[in-house]
A and B are shown apart, each in its own frame.
Chain A
């Protein structure tokens, strides 16, 4: 088992390398000179050239990429082009906000979506079923940022119940988390419902019923376990999207997280900041995927043995 975990951890590396290379290439193509940005509009051309040499900006692209990755391995993510502070400090300070947001996004979507999906499946064709499917449909059809805007309009501007920007208190996380959860919630409702429906039709459920087990027991003990497997996969896959979605939502709610940092940094061509943010996200997503796979094996002993064998 440990061998399996180790192997998976190793596999994260090529993915990270690939992502970092792609993003680095894109950033290198962007117009705009970071040295001039750092020195200001009134700096002379000579000053700018001097700084370019210092920063190694005149080296060729591949050399720059290698130098960068070399530093990263030692833990040095470089200095921000924008305000000359160590990149790691800023990213590390902001990362928790985004993580918490993504976490609550997933948690809310699971806590609300899965039960609704189950109820929908159990009471198929009832009013609850129709309403939840309708809600799910609407939620997948709207842009997340629009939902955020509507929530702000209603709860912040008109009703003045919840704050619309910042991250001070837990209250500040409510609207953004709900917005983020909406999309995944819809998917979970539908997925859970359809897998439950499949499972309920299976023979062993019929057997359990015939044997006289109560409906509740059937659902919780037998059906749920099997139905949840694909659902857990979705949660895992979606974590990447959660982090991506968190970026746009942070913009809507003006939260100081990794997302707003990334967008500002891409615009200002602050390559070190962008790279560090992307790397953080990539590592986080990969680790979550690994966690999900481990969770899988806890739930389904067949898979556990498969992993252990490899």
Chain B
């Protein structure tokens, strides 16, 4: 009958469509599945693939346009830097064999290796290094890393000179980040925009393909200057739901899971086939005030809130207890973080007294825009206890970046900062210095002369002890003026198949798959 035949055609059409879109991506994955799945049942021959689960897509594969921790992590596999971070966190030679500072600390000469190749077979030259650095210095995305740099010059075919604007303590750490990954000048100049989806670097893994929203595939680079990686096939699988990702890890569908959800932590730790690694992160969450305008230009009010904070409850509510209270504005793993620093301690009565002294004996109402709902909900309740009604406005990242972060149209907010490089300067200078008020830097809008001095001295001094002392001072001033209230650092976790060696948690969520190998 006509109806029936129409029906059959539709059915066949649907099946074909499913086959095309779903199955097309099927092949490479089933191969991987056979190799990495069901560890309990079979012992597979030489395993050399890793499926790495991440919960969002990197924004780009162009290292000089990278802007967030996840993107940086992916870049680490593709690009190398002059100085390399080794697995215990120390800095060792990378593409540069050695380097020498000038006496005033404003120039560094690097001697380059001569055996580094690009993924496309080209030899890496000093020109590529100069090109990459200057590209980074001119990029609008990398200011936090390249802010101290003026330009890179070629000295000769084996040497390059980096000229800084001022002597900068953490400059070597900055050079070790992926924003300064070396790219192929030829490839970039051939296709500037396309490079973001088709990168050419010198790193351990070279790019194969990117299926939007699904996965990014790499294979090992056989001419890698440190020797080819143990892992031959690396697939980043994008699983945006963390619970499903945990299930996938348990099933063996993926081998590594970056940043598992707090809710799944205990379950994964208890699982015999999975190992869970963690470390304190270089990110922290805080309450930020607009110190210049509005309700919170009143110091007493800010101080009142600083006594109303119960960090432990915040950590439980936001992170299932998986965090570390932070009382100084500098995360513990950063150079310059003061030891055993104490902020204002939890004291509801004192908070209420200060509130009354500030002129609000009957409490008040504030708008509380935020990106992070969980800690903010707990905070809202803590504020209620002292009589402050907070109306939470959960914002999208774009809106928050514009209104709160850049234009500073807010009074109080909950935010987070990360130190890309484990040095206090990264997470204090732009944030609290009077020269940088607004525009996406100093969002507390403070301008305190003693603070500015301490920050300047800490940044340029070449004496580590001086720097540390100044940063302790910075923390004290921030606490005494209640410029901003640090809350807690999260704990970065990574979970992996127990047979995969070399996996480590990292304060800035990096992962070096080059170090991984199957037992």
Contacts and interface: CB of A to CB of B under 8 A. Distances in A.
B70 interface: no
B404 to A, nearest CB: 11
Given A31-B403, A41-B406, 12 more contacts: A31-B402, A41-B401, A42-B141, A42-B144, A107-B14, A160-B247, A167-B214, A172-B22, A225-B3, A254-B241, A267-B397, A298-B2
> Which among B17, B26, B213, B406 has the greatest number of chain A C-beta atoms within 10 A?
B213
30 contacts: A31-B402, A32-B399, A36-B402, A37-B398, A39-B141, A41-B401, A42-B144, A43-B440, A82-B59, A83-B60, A84-B193, A93-B211, A96-B20, A97-B21, A100-B14, A100-B21, A107-B10, A165-B240, A165-B241, A167-B21, A170-B18, A254-B239, A254-B241, A254-B244, A256-B214, A267-B397, A269-B398, A269-B399, A298-B6, A299-B3
Interface in B222-255: 237-241, 243-245, 247-248, 251, 253
A253 to B, nearest CB: 8
A228 B22 contact: no
B394 to A, nearest CB: 11
Contacts of A160: 247, 251
Given A42-B140, A107-B10, A164-B241, A32 B398 contact: yes
Interface string A7-42: 000000000000000000000001111101101111
Contact of A166 (B239, B398, B439): B239
Nearest to B143: A42
Contacts of A248: none
A54 interface: no
B370 to A, nearest CB: 15
Interface string A134-170: 0000000000000000001000110010011111111
Given A97-B21, A104-B18, A164 B3 contact: no
A99 B70 CA distance: 30
Contact of A254 (B6, B67, B240): B240
B23 interface: yes
Interface string A33-60: 1101101111111010000000000000
Contact of B14 (A45, A103, A220, A225): A103
Contacts of B87: none
B26 A169 contact: yes
Interface in B1-52: 1-3, 6, 10-11, 13-14, 17-23, 25-26, 29
B212 interface: yes
Contacts of A34: 398
A90 to B, nearest CB: 6
A100 B17 contact: yes
B405 interface: yes
A32 B59 contact: no
A261 B213 CA distance: 9
Nearest to B251: A160
Interface string A96-134: 110110011001000000000000000000000000000
Interface string B58-74: 01100000010000000
B433 to A, nearest CB: 14
B396 interface: yes
Contacts of B213: 94, 256, 260-261
Contact of A33 (B11, B243, B402): B402
Give chain B's interface secondary structure class.
helix
Given A41-B401, A96-B20, A165 B239 contact: yes
Contacts of B398: 32-34, 37, 267-269
A41 B405 contact: yes
A169 B23 contact: yes
B59 A83 contact: yes
B266 to A, nearest CB: 16
Interface of B: 1-3, 6, 10-11, 13-14, 17-23, 25-26, 29, 59-60, 67, 140-144, 193, 196-197, 211-214, 237-241, 243-245, 247-248, 251, 253, 396-399, 401-403, 405-406, 439-441
Nearest to A81: B398
Contacts of A213: none
A43 B65 CA distance: 11
A117 to B, nearest CB: 15
Interface in A171-203: 172-173
Contacts of B1: 220
A25 to B, nearest CB: 18
A239 to B, nearest CB: 12
A208 interface: no
A295 interface: yes
Contacts of A168: 22, 25-26, 29, 214
Nearest to A228: B3
Interface in A240-282: 254, 256, 260-261, 267-269
Given A32-B402, A41-B67, A85-B196, A169 B22 contact: yes
Contacts of A163: 253
Given A40-B67, A165-B244, A93 B212 contact: yes
> Which among B18, B26, B212, B244 has the greatest number of chain A C-beta atoms within 10 A?
B18
A140 B189 CA distance: 57
A40 B141 contact: yes
Nearest to A167: B22
A37 to B, nearest CB: 5
Contacts of A225: 3
Given A104-B18, A166-B239, A269-B398, A43 B141 contact: yes
A107 B214 CA distance: 25
Contacts of A93: 211-212
B247 A83 contact: no
Contact of A173 (B22, B25, B439): B22
B23 A96 contact: no
